[in-house]
Chains A and B, each alone.
Chain A
Amino acid sequence: EPEVTQTPSHQVTQMGQEVILRCVPISNHLYFYWYRQILGQKVEFLVSFYNNEISEKSEIFDDQFSVERPDGSNFTLKIRSTKLEDSAMYFCASSEFLGISGNTIYFGEGSWLTVV
Protein backbone atom coordinates (compact mmCIF):
# COMPACT_ATOMS: atom_id res chain seq x y z
CA GLU A 1 0.00 0.00 0.00
CA PRO A 2 1.41 3.44 -0.88
CA GLU A 3 2.52 5.48 2.09
CA VAL A 4 3.88 8.86 3.07
CA THR A 5 7.47 8.55 4.26
CA GLN A 6 9.29 10.99 6.50
CA THR A 7 12.89 11.54 7.51
CA PRO A 8 14.42 11.81 10.00
CA SER A 9 12.32 9.87 12.46
CA HIS A 10 13.92 11.76 15.32
CA GLN A 11 16.12 14.84 15.42
CA VAL A 12 17.64 16.66 18.34
CA THR A 13 18.75 20.22 17.67
CA GLN A 14 20.01 23.17 19.64
CA MET A 15 17.81 26.21 20.07
CA GLY A 16 18.43 28.70 17.29
CA GLN A 17 19.53 26.11 14.76
CA GLU A 18 17.83 25.50 11.44
CA VAL A 19 16.03 22.22 10.88
CA ILE A 20 14.73 20.67 7.68
CA LEU A 21 12.20 17.86 7.88
CA ARG A 22 11.70 15.83 4.75
CA CYS A 23 8.74 14.00 3.34
CA VAL A 24 7.98 11.90 0.29
CA PRO A 25 4.22 12.09 -0.33
CA ILE A 26 2.27 9.36 -2.09
CA SER A 27 3.27 9.53 -5.73
CA ASN A 28 0.01 10.49 -7.45
CA HIS A 29 -1.03 12.93 -4.77
CA LEU A 30 -1.19 16.63 -5.52
CA TYR A 31 -1.94 18.18 -2.12
CA PHE A 32 0.56 18.19 0.67
CA TYR A 33 0.30 19.16 4.33
CA TRP A 34 2.31 19.57 7.49
CA TYR A 35 0.77 19.06 10.92
CA ARG A 36 2.36 18.94 14.31
CA GLN A 37 1.53 17.32 17.62
CA ILE A 38 3.04 18.50 20.87
CA LEU A 39 3.46 15.61 23.31
CA GLY A 40 0.12 14.57 24.75
CA GLN A 41 -1.87 17.11 22.76
CA LYS A 42 -4.00 17.04 19.66
CA VAL A 43 -2.79 17.21 16.10
CA GLU A 44 -2.59 20.79 14.79
CA PHE A 45 -2.63 22.01 11.20
CA LEU A 46 0.38 24.00 10.03
CA VAL A 47 0.17 24.41 6.28
CA SER A 48 -1.25 23.04 3.05
CA PHE A 49 0.51 23.21 -0.30
CA TYR A 50 -0.63 22.74 -3.86
CA ASN A 51 0.82 23.60 -7.25
CA ASN A 52 4.00 24.96 -5.65
CA GLU A 53 2.11 27.42 -3.50
CA ILE A 54 0.84 27.57 0.04
CA SER A 55 -2.95 27.13 0.00
CA GLU A 56 -3.60 27.74 3.66
CA LYS A 57 -1.53 28.23 6.80
CA SER A 58 -2.28 28.47 10.49
CA GLU A 59 -1.17 31.10 12.96
CA ILE A 60 1.51 28.68 14.13
CA PHE A 61 3.14 28.81 10.70
CA ASP A 62 4.96 32.12 11.15
CA ASP A 63 7.97 33.56 9.33
CA GLN A 64 10.26 31.00 10.95
CA PHE A 65 8.59 28.24 8.95
CA SER A 66 8.77 27.57 5.24
CA VAL A 67 7.84 24.73 2.91
CA GLU A 68 9.26 23.69 -0.39
CA ARG A 69 8.85 21.06 -3.05
CA PRO A 70 12.42 21.03 -4.35
CA ASP A 71 11.85 18.26 -6.87
CA GLY A 72 9.10 15.96 -8.09
CA SER A 73 9.06 13.75 -5.04
CA ASN A 74 10.15 15.58 -1.87
CA PHE A 75 8.24 18.03 0.28
CA THR A 76 10.16 19.78 3.05
CA LEU A 77 9.42 21.81 6.14
CA LYS A 78 12.14 24.20 7.29
CA ILE A 79 12.27 25.86 10.67
CA ARG A 80 14.79 28.68 10.43
CA SER A 81 15.66 29.29 14.06
CA THR A 82 14.22 26.66 16.35
CA LYS A 83 12.71 27.48 19.72
CA LEU A 84 12.12 25.18 22.66
CA GLU A 85 8.37 25.28 21.97
CA ASP A 86 8.94 23.86 18.49
CA SER A 87 9.60 20.49 20.11
CA ALA A 88 6.87 18.25 18.73
CA MET A 89 6.07 15.42 16.36
CA TYR A 90 5.74 16.80 12.85
CA PHE A 91 3.51 14.89 10.45
CA CYS A 92 3.55 15.20 6.72
CA ALA A 93 0.36 14.25 4.88
CA SER A 94 -0.87 14.11 1.34
CA SER A 95 -4.09 13.68 -0.59
CA GLU A 96 -5.01 13.10 -4.19
CA PHE A 97 -7.58 15.87 -4.21
CA LEU A 98 -8.44 18.74 -1.92
CA GLY A 99 -10.07 17.85 1.38
CA ILE A 100 -13.40 19.41 0.43
CA SER A 101 -13.93 16.61 -2.07
CA GLY A 102 -14.14 14.12 0.76
CA ASN A 103 -10.97 12.34 -0.20
CA THR A 104 -8.60 10.73 2.23
CA ILE A 105 -5.64 12.56 3.71
CA TYR A 106 -2.85 10.08 4.49
CA PHE A 107 -0.32 10.79 7.19
CA GLY A 108 3.29 9.75 7.54
CA GLU A 109 4.75 8.24 10.68
CA GLY A 110 6.12 11.57 11.84
CA SER A 111 9.44 13.25 12.62
CA TRP A 112 10.02 13.81 16.30
CA LEU A 113 11.86 17.10 16.84
CA THR A 114 13.48 17.85 20.17
CA VAL A 115 14.89 21.33 20.67
CA VAL A 116 17.33 21.65 23.56
Chain B
Amino acid sequence: GESVGLHLPTLSVQEGDNSIINCAYSNSASDYFIWYKQESGKGPQFIIDIRSNMDKRQGQRVTVLLNKTVKHLSLQIAATQPGDSAVYFCAEGGVRNQGGKLIFGQGTELSVKP
Protein backbone atom coordinates (compact mmCIF):
# COMPACT_ATOMS: atom_id res chain seq x y z
CA GLY B 1 0.00 0.00 0.00
CA GLU B 2 0.97 3.62 -0.21
CA SER B 3 3.13 4.86 2.63
CA VAL B 4 2.30 8.20 4.17
CA GLY B 5 5.14 10.19 5.63
CA LEU B 6 5.07 13.04 8.05
CA HIS B 7 4.57 16.50 6.64
CA LEU B 8 7.77 18.25 7.58
CA PRO B 9 7.72 21.84 8.74
CA THR B 10 9.27 23.92 6.00
CA LEU B 11 11.26 27.11 6.03
CA SER B 12 11.87 29.07 2.87
CA VAL B 13 14.47 31.84 2.90
CA GLN B 14 16.16 34.06 0.39
CA GLU B 15 19.82 33.47 -0.33
CA GLY B 16 21.92 35.66 1.94
CA ASP B 17 19.30 35.90 4.68
CA ASN B 18 19.72 34.33 8.09
CA SER B 19 17.77 31.15 8.89
CA ILE B 20 16.49 30.03 12.26
CA ILE B 21 15.34 26.45 12.70
CA ASN B 22 13.66 25.47 15.94
CA CYS B 23 13.31 22.21 17.79
CA ALA B 24 11.62 21.11 21.00
CA TYR B 25 13.19 18.17 22.79
CA SER B 26 11.48 15.76 25.11
CA ASN B 27 13.78 14.48 27.83
CA SER B 28 14.96 16.86 30.55
CA ALA B 29 17.69 14.32 31.39
CA SER B 30 19.31 14.70 27.96
CA ASP B 31 22.81 16.03 28.28
CA TYR B 32 23.88 16.47 24.70
CA PHE B 33 22.22 17.96 21.64
CA ILE B 34 23.21 17.84 18.01
CA TRP B 35 22.05 19.34 14.76
CA TYR B 36 22.30 17.20 11.65
CA LYS B 37 21.77 18.14 8.02
CA GLN B 38 20.33 15.54 5.66
CA GLU B 39 20.36 15.98 1.93
CA SER B 40 18.09 13.86 -0.22
CA GLY B 41 19.18 10.23 -0.31
CA LYS B 42 22.11 10.77 2.04
CA GLY B 43 22.92 10.13 5.66
CA PRO B 44 22.70 12.71 8.45
CA GLN B 45 25.70 15.00 8.42
CA PHE B 46 26.92 16.50 11.69
CA ILE B 47 26.68 20.29 11.86
CA ILE B 48 27.16 21.36 15.46
CA ASP B 49 26.58 20.09 18.98
CA ILE B 50 26.12 21.53 22.44
CA ARG B 51 26.30 20.18 25.97
CA SER B 52 23.62 20.94 28.52
CA ASN B 53 26.01 23.06 30.59
CA MET B 54 26.11 25.62 27.78
CA ASP B 55 23.41 27.82 26.29
CA LYS B 56 25.15 28.90 23.12
CA ARG B 57 27.80 27.53 20.80
CA GLN B 58 29.08 28.97 17.56
CA GLY B 59 30.57 27.31 14.55
CA GLN B 60 31.32 28.46 11.06
CA ARG B 61 28.17 30.33 9.95
CA VAL B 62 26.09 28.33 12.44
CA THR B 63 25.04 28.97 16.02
CA VAL B 64 23.13 26.65 18.31
CA LEU B 65 21.11 28.01 21.22
CA LEU B 66 19.84 25.86 24.05
CA ASN B 67 17.08 26.83 26.45
CA LYS B 68 16.77 24.09 29.03
CA THR B 69 13.96 25.82 30.89
CA VAL B 70 11.57 25.28 28.00
CA LYS B 71 13.46 22.37 26.41
CA HIS B 72 14.08 24.26 23.20
CA LEU B 73 16.94 24.16 20.75
CA SER B 74 17.54 26.38 17.75
CA LEU B 75 19.96 26.45 14.85
CA GLN B 76 20.86 29.74 13.29
CA ILE B 77 22.49 29.77 9.86
CA ALA B 78 24.05 33.05 8.81
CA ALA B 79 24.04 34.19 5.19
CA THR B 80 22.12 31.14 4.00
CA GLN B 81 23.32 29.67 0.71
CA PRO B 82 21.59 27.39 -1.83
CA GLY B 83 23.85 24.56 -0.65
CA ASP B 84 22.21 24.82 2.76
CA SER B 85 18.95 23.48 1.33
CA ALA B 86 18.26 20.20 3.14
CA VAL B 87 16.27 18.70 5.99
CA TYR B 88 17.65 19.67 9.39
CA PHE B 89 17.18 17.38 12.38
CA CYS B 90 17.87 18.09 15.99
CA ALA B 91 18.83 15.10 18.11
CA GLU B 92 19.09 14.66 21.86
CA GLY B 93 21.20 12.20 23.74
CA GLY B 94 23.64 11.78 26.51
CA VAL B 95 21.27 10.19 28.98
CA ARG B 96 23.27 7.89 31.19
CA ASN B 97 22.72 4.15 30.76
CA GLN B 98 21.16 4.62 27.35
CA GLY B 99 24.12 3.37 25.36
CA GLY B 100 24.72 6.54 23.40
CA LYS B 101 21.25 6.51 21.88
CA LEU B 102 20.16 9.64 20.01
CA ILE B 103 16.52 10.63 19.71
CA PHE B 104 15.87 12.57 16.54
CA GLY B 105 13.26 15.27 16.12
CA GLN B 106 10.84 15.49 13.25
CA GLY B 107 13.04 17.59 10.97
CA THR B 108 12.60 20.90 9.18
CA GLU B 109 13.02 21.28 5.46
CA LEU B 110 15.01 24.38 4.57
CA SER B 111 14.60 25.73 1.07
CA VAL B 112 16.89 28.53 -0.08
CA LYS B 113 15.74 30.66 -2.97
CA PRO B 114 18.51 32.12 -5.15
B-contacting residues of A (Cβ < 8 Å)?
A: 4, 31, 33, 35, 38-45, 48, 50, 54-58, 91, 95, 98-100, 102, 104-110
- Give the distance in Å from the alpha carbon of A100 to the alpha carbon of B99 in the complex: 8
Question: Are B32 and A56 in contact, with the CB atoms below 8 A?
Answer: no
B56 interface residue per 8 A CB criterion: no
- In the bound complex, residues from chain A placing their C-beta under 8 Å from that of B100 are 31, 33, 48, 50, 55-56, 95, 98-100, 105
- In the bound complex, residues from chain A placing their C-beta under 8 Å from that of B8 are 40
Tally of A-B Cβ pairs under 8 angstroms = 90
List B13-41 residues whose CB lies under 8 Å from chain A: 31-32, 34, 36, 38, 41
- Give the distance in Å from the alpha carbon of A19 to the alpha carbon of B45 in the complex: 26
Contact-residue bracket for chain B:
20 to 34
Name the one of A41, A45, A54, A56 contacting B5, with C-beta atoms under 8 angstroms: A41
Name the one of B31, B44, B101, B107 contacting A45, with C-beta atoms under 8 angstroms: B101
CB distance from B45 to the nearest CB of A (A): 7
- Give the distance in Å from the alpha carbon of A112 to the alpha carbon of B98 in the complex: 26
Question: Are A102 and B94 in contact, with the CB atoms below 8 A?
Answer: yes
- In the bound complex, residues from chain B placing their C-beta under 8 Å from that of A31 are 100
CB distance from A86 to the nearest CB of B (A): 13
Question: Are A42 and B6 in contact, with the CB atoms below 8 A?
Answer: yes
- Give the distance in Å from the alpha carbon of A100 to the alpha carbon of B52 in the complex: 11
B86 interface residue per 8 A CB criterion: no
Indicate the member of A31, A33, A54, A107 with the most B CB atoms within 10 Å.
A107
List B60-108 residues whose CB lies under 8 Å from chain A: 89, 91, 93-96, 98-107
- In the bound complex, residues from chain B placing their C-beta under 8 Å from that of A98 are 99-100
- Give the distance in Å from the alpha carbon of A99 to the alpha carbon of B32 in the complex: 8
**27 A-B residue pairings within 8 Å (CB atoms):** A31-B100, A35-B102, A35-B104, A38-B5, A39-B5, A40-B5, A42-B6, A42-B89, A42-B106, A43-B89, A43-B104, A45-B103, A48-B100, A55-B100, A56-B99, A56-B100, A58-B101, A91-B44, A95-B100, A98-B100, A99-B100, A102-B31, A102-B49, A104-B34, A109-B43, A110-B41, A110-B42
